[in-house]
Amino acid sequence: MKLSDYVADFLAKQGIRHVFAITGGASIHLIHSVADHPGIDFICPQHEQGGAMAADGYARVSGGLGAAFATSGPGATNMITGIACSWFDSVPVIYITGQVTTFRLKGTTGVRQMGFQETEIVPMVAPISKYAVMLTDAKRIRYELEKAVHIARSGRPGPVVIDIPDDLQRSEIDAATLEGYVPPAVEVKARDISSEIERCLPMLAAAERPVLIVGWGVRLGGAVKEIHQLAERLGFPVVPSWAAMDIFPSDHPLVVGGFGTHGTRPGNFAVQNADLVLTIGARLSTRETGSPLSSWARGAKTIIVDIDPAELRKFPHFGRPLDLPIESDAKSFITSLLGRLRDFRGQNLDPWRQRVREWKKRYPTCAPEFYEEKPVNPYVFVEEMSKASSEGDTIFVDTGCSIAWMMQGFRFKKGQRLFHDFNNTAMGYALPAAIGGSLAQGGKPVTCISGDGSLLMNIQELCTAQRHRLPIKLFLVNNQAHAMVQQTQEQWLGGHYHATSVEGGLWFPDFVKIAEACGFATLTVDTNKDLSNVIRRAMAADGPVFCDVRVPTKHRVLPQCKFGYPIEDAEPLLPRKEFLENMIVEPMEVSLR
């Protein structure tokens, strides 16, 4: 059989039903083989970046592998941002790039390029992939595919890249004689964490102000059911990372809200006043801890569980030693801990939980006075989106203010999933990822929320959504600015909006006309009072819908923590008397000025 036919059959046997592929001289054999295979098909995005991000969204929603093809040179390099999205969020995607024929490779000649569009993609993507290799022998195709997929799925998941020269794609192979890949036996050996579990127990029992931080690793580890059991058993207030916000419904009595530099006041007060932080599957980036890292949970003992030992080692390196680092996948740890909690008796946490409830009541994300504004307030938009959404909805959100407003204010219902490239946070991710997510669910409706700056990065993918009549409900938070960066400019650069405003160099098109040209039904809303009706009309409509939500440029992410301040002391700064009333742990000097 032809090698490219073997690749198509292999991907189909992995459960992949759609490959995102843009044609090119070095990818046509792969695409034709997919087209001829009855169990798999190709989807044509308009840009390789969009294809890579669609494959990422496909993998996140399906829980399996995503796949994307690109041709050599610029086709391959265009995928790099999407590959990084998969890398930083531990998403298993197989990216296959075409390469010039082996007899046109530059080899050791020292020239920059020999074959047309020859580019060494493997060393470029090596730092953002778990495995990257160029196939040099057609007889190794089974070995390399099996190895790549094993690596992508094992341990901490992530993307893999295989670069296949054109002449090898069209070469004839004998599939029956191909060598397979046998994973090393050491990889399946489970790590014994029984001693760490025993050390946990007295720390959990002694805590009077504990919090449970839940991260994306819980979802990756297949431990959603188990984390609910653990939360109920411990009774600790739950503070999810952004990537884990949808694991618990927002009305769960233990859920506090988000935390970090763009978190909520209740979430930040809970974490920063805790005497014990149990973190499972959250890598705790600087967006979550603030800077310096030593300011984070400084009054708490820390139990941090992560499958990646490097994530555990970073804490003492950056000035925040851990009390109990535990190298383990989330499910193994939670299951082991639950087995030792049958007779668990901790402290009386009623006073602590009552304090948390008071913070939630005192500092709502969408204040009642926001509804009194005539133009659209972004927090009212998020509130109305929450009301209009249904259990089980799938939502994709772009970066910038859009994701911050959603993470602060959206109220999750049972079974809802929200996806974002949480750690790469690339502008333009949401639309192509929503396309992948919809296809992964057989064309199910999905919601997509993007900002004007983000949408322009991949606006061409409106064509892809229309080509396949995907029922994507796209809400554009249109504030005619890059408002999150404007907020930084206000904090540090005197409020001069260079490159973040129309006056500072930007220009925005008529998005509605573009959406109409791409065949979308369109709606526009610019007042708070019309939000509910327009959102519900968009959600109820058939096919692709584009809703232009016009928000005044002045709106910011509030609260938001300025660099150098601990996350509990976010802007707008509370009056010092009020702030100190909320603090149990000693405030930092910067907060007392």
CATH code of residue 339: 3.40.50.1220
Is the same domain home to 113 and 39? yes
Query: Do 13 and 148 share a domain, yes or no?
Result: yes
Q: Determine the pLDDT at residue 570.
A: 97
Looking at the DSSP bridge assignments, the partners of residue 450 are 476
- How far apart are the two ends of the chain, measured CA to CA in Å? 74
67, part of any domain: yes
Cβ proximity of 104 and 77 under 8 Å: no
Kindly state whether residue 593 falls inside one of the protein's structural domains.
Answer: no
Asked if 106 contacts 96 with a C-beta cutoff of 8 angstroms, the reply is no
**Which alpha helices (DSSP H) does 176-300 contain, by range?**
194-206, 216-220, 224-234, 265-272, 286-289
Residues 430 and 538 both lie in one domain: yes
Q: What is the pLDDT of residue 561?
A: 96
Say if residue 42 is in the same domain as residue 162: yes
Q: Are residues 104 and 211 in the same domain?
A: no
C-alpha–C-alpha distance, residues 453 and 26, integer Å: 33
Shared domain for 435 and 499, answered yes or no, is yes
Domain boundary among 362, 389, 406: 362
* 396 and 545 assigned to the same domain: yes
On whether both 158 and 262 belong to a single domain, the answer is: no
Inside any domain, residue 591: no
Split into its structural domains, the chain has a count of: 3
Domain of 474, in residue numbers = 368-550
- Domain edge (last residue) among 322, 340, 362: 362
Query: Residue 416 falls within a domain, yes or no?
Result: yes
Alpha carbons 504 and 373: distance in angstroms, whole number: 27
Residues 168 and 209 in one domain: no
Residue 560 lies in a domain: no
| 43: three-class secondary structure by DSSP | strand
Q: Which pLDDT score is estimated for 256?
A: 98
- Position 211 scores a pLDDT of 98
- Same domain for 377 and 350: no
The answer to whether residue 291 is domain-embedded is yes
| 374 plus 319 within the same structural domain | no
State the Cα–Cα distance between residues 560 and 369, nearest whole angstrom.
Answer: 19
435 and 527 in one domain? yes
Query: Length of the chain in residues, anyone?
Result: 593
In a domain, 400, yes or no: yes
Choosing from 362, 394, 414, the residue where a domain stops is 362
Contacts of 100 (CB under 8 A, 6+ apart): 26, 72, 114, 115, 116, 117, 118, 165, 166
User: Would 579 be classed as within a structural domain?
Assistant: no
CA–CA separation, 23 and 30 (whole Å)? 9
| Distance between CA atoms of residues 41 and 4, nearest Å | 14
- What is the per-residue pLDDT for 187? 55
Would you state the structure tokens that stand for residue 405, as one six-digit string?
């407003």
Look up the CATH number of the domain holding residue 448. Answer: 3.40.50.970
Per-residue pLDDT of the chain (593 residues), as tens digits, is 999 999 999 999 999 999 999 999 999 999 999 999 999 999 999 999 999 999 999 999 999 999 999 999 999 999 999 999 999 999 999 999 999 999 999 899 999 998 889 999 999 999 999 999 999 999 999 999 999 999 999 999 999 999 999 999 999 999 999 999 999 876 556 689 999 999 999 999 999 999 999 999 999 999 999 999 999 999 999 999 999 999 999 999 999 999 999 999 999 999 999 999 999 999 999 999 999 999 999 999 999 999 999 999 999 999 999 999 999 999 999 999 999 998 889 999 999 999 999 999 999 999 999 999 999 999 999 999 999 999 999 999 999 999 999 999 999 999 999 999 999 999 999 999 999 999 999 999 999 999 999 999 999 999 999 999 999 999 999 999 999 999 999 999 999 999 999 999 999 999 999 999 999 999 999 999 999 999 999 999 999 999 999 999 999 999 999 999 999 999 999 999 999 999 999 999 999 98
